[in-house]
Amino acid sequence: MLDNILNSLMKPTKIEKEQLKSYEFHNDIPLAAYDSQLTKRKNTLVLNNYFFKNKNIYISKHNRYAPYPMHTHTFLEINYMLRGEADEVVGHREIHLNQGDLLLLDVGCEHSIGYLGTNDLLINILFQDRTINIDLLNSLRSSRSVLYEFLVNRKVGVGNRASYLLFRQENGREIQETLDRIIEEYYLQRDYADTIIEAYLSILIAQLVRNYAVDVDKDLTKPQLLITKILQDINDNDSTISLSYVAQKYGYNRNYLSNLFRSIVGETFSDVLTKQRIMHAHTLLASTQMPVGEIIKQVGISNRTFFYKKYREYYHKAPRA
């Protein structure tokens, strides 16, 4: 982050000076920015698309020295902890953000933000690209890993959806670097800044997909933790792994482990391994110029007809499409 921009962001705004006197929230958002009908219906403040009159992406520093009340919006929002730390309540869950953390909030996700001190800088990035949403990110990431699919289904329930995604700073320095470039372009306002910011946003979304990792619940039972480790093994070694290998690795009878795996995951080891191989092939098809035949071999599938059949089952189209 450029020093001049960081120094500018650290200076207290007019609203911050007012809040510092009383530690109470002072609203600096005009009435036109609120959807009155939705606010009345949901009984919580709902921000509309007021911020996008002249641009598709709006960036602001979150005002310090007072908590921000529960609200929601008709667009997507990124809360990026540029400096310091913050506490948010998203829905009914308390989330603590450390420096470098990023919170992506979906349309309609209710949240509030706690008190920020002098050394805390929370940057809000608002955008209304309807092609980007939580479902898209979930489907992109789950198309890469059976482990991710298992953990997400366990966390929010099969058929349900998360309304936010939390990205911890240790998940990728490149994400923070891209965010710094976005913020710099926004505040410097050089020629073609809006075009460059939109391009960076696309890069950021791809980096989030690449770097995101689902936290393993602390309350996993011993069998669930074992299966999570096996799913990670499948994810890391899908071309060569086998049930016999993992049974020997973890010291379990092969048949017992097979039954345990199916009881927890809901699918057989063989079916899950095939799914991971097809997902891996799908990623290679989408991101490389490798021939289909070479991809089939790389993911560990020996029967070409079997691969084409399974690929159509999962993606409803031919690999060459």
321 inside domain:
no
Residue 217 falls within a domain, yes or no?
no
**238 and 283 fall within a common domain:** yes
- On whether residue 320 sits in a domain, the answer given is no
Please indicate, yes or no, whether residues 285 and 305 belong to a single structural domain of this protein.
yes
Question: How high is the pLDDT of residue 153?
Answer: 52
Q: Is 33:73 a contact under the CB 8 Å cutoff? A: no
Identify whether 278 is part of a domain.
Answer: yes
CB 281 within 8 A of CB 307: yes
Domain count, the chain: 2
- How many other β-carbons are positioned within 10 Å of the β-carbon of residue 39? 16
Say if residues 185 and 193 touch (Cβ distance below 8 Å). Answer: yes
Bridge partners for 124 per DSSP: 60, 79
Which of 158, 188, 211 is at the close of a domain?
211
Residue 113 placed within a domain: yes
Note whether residue 271 is domain-resident.
yes
Residues 205 and 227 in one domain: no
Number of Cβ within a 10 Å radius of residue 59: 19
Q: Does 186 lie in the same domain as 294?
A: no
Residue 302 burial (CB count, 10 A): 8
Query: What is residue 59's predicted lDDT score, i.e. its pLDDT?
Result: 94
Statement to judge: residues 273 and 148 lie in one domain: no
- Helix or strand holding residue 83 (H, E): strand 76-83
User: Which residues of the chain are under the pLDDT cut of 50?
Assistant: 131, 154-161
pLDDT computed for residue 164 by the predictor: 82
Q: Token pair 């709006």 is at which residue?
A: 58
| Average pLDDT over the chain, rounded to an integer | 86
For 224-269, the pLDDT digits (tens) are 888 888 988 998 889 999 999 999 999 999 999 999 999 988 889 9
| Residue pair 203/176 in contact by the 8 Å Cβ criterion | no
Boundary of a domain, candidates 147, 181, 211 = 211
Claim to verify: residue 32 and residue 180 sit in the same structural domain:
yes
Residues 23 and 92 reside in one and the same domain: yes
Residues 163 and 241 grouped into a single domain: no
Check residue 156 and give its pLDDT.
42
CATH number at residue 286: 1.10.10.60
Q: What distance in Å separates the CA atoms of residue 237 and residue 225, rounded to the nearest whole number?
A: 18
Residues 113 and 149 in one domain: yes
pTM: 0.69
Q: Are 228 and 153 contacting, i.e. CB atoms less than 8 angstroms apart?
A: no
Identify whether 136 is part of a domain: yes
Residues 203, 252 within the same domain: no
Q: How far is CA 95 from CA 60, 126, 164, 165, 179, in A?
A: 21, 20, 11, 11, 21
The residue among 184, 211, 238 that closes a domain is 211
Range of the domain at 71: 3-211
Dist CA 182 CA 196 (whole Å): 8
Q: How far apart are CA 246 and CA 148, in angstroms?
A: 19
The strand pair at 164-167 and 68-73 is best described as unpaired
Measure the CA–CA gap between 3 and 153, rounded to whole angstroms: 43
Dist CA 233 CA 202 (whole Å) = 31
| Residues 178 and 121 placed together within one structural domain of the fold | yes
Neighbours of 273 (CB within 10 A): 19
User: Do 99 and 189 belong together in one domain?
Assistant: yes
Residue 299 included in any domain: yes
Tokens of 162: 């998360």
